[in-house]
Amino acid sequence: MKLMSKQVILTGIRANNDLTIGNYFGAILPMIDMATTRAEEFQVNLFVPDLHSFTTPINHRELQSAIWNNLRIFVAAGLPLDQPDIHIYRQSYIPAHSEMTWIIDCFVGMGELGRMTQFKEKSYKEDESKSGEDRVRVGLFNYPVLMAADILLYNATYVPVGDDQTQHLEFTRDIAERLNNKFDQELFTIPKPVKEQHEFFGKDQGLRIKDLQDPTKKMSKSDESGKGVIFLNDSPELAAKKVMSATTDSVGQVNLDWENQPGISNLLQILALFQHRSIEEVASEWQGNTQYGEFKKTVADAVKGFLVDLQDKLAQVDDSAVKTKLEASEAAMDKVAGETLLKTQKAVGLR
Ligand code: TRP
């Protein structure tokens, strides 16, 4: 039972077709680094929550390509495919996720789910959506239950999630405790509380990449023009142009000052990431420089170099190796999840 001997770190990364450099440096890279460094001591489960993908409307024809595109990006970002304690799998390939969701559903109140901030925010948006659909999906309402199943099936203790997901993690702890008490046995491992998660993973470093056109808001794919956003699949030339036309200020000299010079500070941040240095270090090198053009050119070249390199690595990813890894992980994880499901089915009287 080698699989059960190590504590489990687990996280799901939603498939998304237009990832930005913000996603890359803020989420993907730290996650891959975490997986690589922790896999000695822990079992690391990184999965694609594909069943969560259409809790809000998507283009279903693009889902497969989004899933594969993301898996390739993970590999290009350094995810090892030959590390036996890192498991990469697709949620929908392991039926226990859906089955466990149903069972948990029968022990959760509508009120609990209705209070979830993500549900309130997203259902509000859906209501006024341009999609012409006036229904808020039950799947969106039920999102946290599927997420709890994702975590509890593998007895995960550490679950790195962003601030927007901590409420769902607390919910997972509640429901695990509730069922353990109700059935008077340790059906589920209770994940560590959010505070301990932060201590373990280090509170996120507050990385903020801002929109190049409007540096007061976050760089996000939902930006309509795309001019302020660098996508991982932008051509390196286009990305360099976007940097050259980034909004700056009339101060006229480079300073790290998010308040008064958000555009310049953002470019310093971006440069620091691409040069693998701290923002303070990069800022002190450019501090006081009055040549915004020269500064931007340096950032643009760094962005270009990064994209050339990443896209080159992406082109070299061996899909069949990824598929082999996925299938091996899915078979192994199906066993683990199946055991937890069976235990639960017995507890509730289904077996
Ligand atoms: N809800 C997470 C997000 O949007 C993705 C996710 C699904 C997840 N299931 C999970 C994360 C289980 C951690 C554990 O980011």
Structural domain includes residue 96: yes
Query: What average pLDDT does range 226-231 have in this prediction?
Result: 95
148 lines ligand 1 (CB under 6 A): no
In contact, 122 and 52? CB cutoff 8 Å: no
Mean pLDDT estimate for the chain: 94
| Length, in residues, of the chain | 351
Read off the pLDDT of residues 117-176 as tens digits, 9 standing for 90 and up: 999 999 887 665 555 566 899 999 999 999 999 999 999 999 998 889 999 999 999 999
Assigned domain for 224 exists:
no
Phi, psi at 46, each rounded to 5°: -115, 120
Task: Looking at the structure, tell me whether residues 35 and 178 fall in a common domain.
Answer: yes
Ligand 1: does its nearest atom lie under 6 Å from the Cβ of 12?
yes
In this structure, are 181 and 248 located in the same domain?
no
Sign of the torsion formed by the C-alpha atoms of 258, 264, 267 and 268: negative
Q: Are residues 332 and 305 in the same domain?
A: no
Ligand 1 atom nearest 13 alpha carbon? 5
Domain that holds residue 309: 236-314
pTM, rounded to two decimals: 0.92
Q: Which two tokens stand for residue 128?
A: 């006024």
Whether 203 is a known active-site residue: answer no
Residue 346 annotated to the active site: no
Helices 166-182 and 194-201 meet at what angle, rounded to 10? 130
Q: Is 296 labeled as catalytic in the residue annotation?
A: no
- Do 40 and 175 lie in one domain? The reply is yes
What are the tens digits of pLDDT across the range 166-214? 999 999 999 999 999 999 999 999 999 999 999 999 866 667 899 999 9
CB 267 within 8 A of CB 249: no
The string over 247-282, giving b where at least 16 C-beta atoms fall within 10 Å of a residue's C-beta and e elsewhere, is: bbbeeeebbbeeeebbbbbbbbbbbbbbbeeebeeb
Whether the Cβ atoms of residue 142 and residue 175 lie closer than 8 Å to each other: no
Per the structure, how many domains does the chain have?
2
Spatial contact of 42 and 330, defined as CB atoms under 8 Å apart:
no
pLDDT digits (tens, 9 = 90+) for 265-304: 999 999 999 999 999 999 999 999 999 999 999 999 999 9
Same domain for 301 and 337: no
Q: Which residue minimizes the CA distance to atom 4 of ligand 1?
A: 14
Question: Tens digits of per-residue pLDDT, 17-63?
Answer: 889 999 999 889 999 999 999 999 999 999 999 999 999 999 999 99
- CA atoms of 322 and 80, how far apart (whole Å): 10
144 CA from centroid of ligand 1 (Å): 9
49 and 171 both lie in a single domain: yes
Question: Is the shortest distance between the CB of 161 and ligand 1 below 6 Å?
Answer: yes
CATH number at residue 244: 1.10.240.10
Note whether 33 and 143 are same-domain residues: yes
**Is residue 213 a part of any domain in this protein?**
no
Strand residues in 91-172 grouped as ranges (E):
156-158
Distance 13 CA to ligand 1 centre (A): 6
119 and 30 in one domain?
Answer: yes
Q: Which residue has the tokens 């051509």?
A: 235
Residue 139 domain flag: yes
The reply to whether 107 and 56 lie within a common domain is yes
Which position among 218, 297, 313, 343 bears the catalytic label?
A: 218
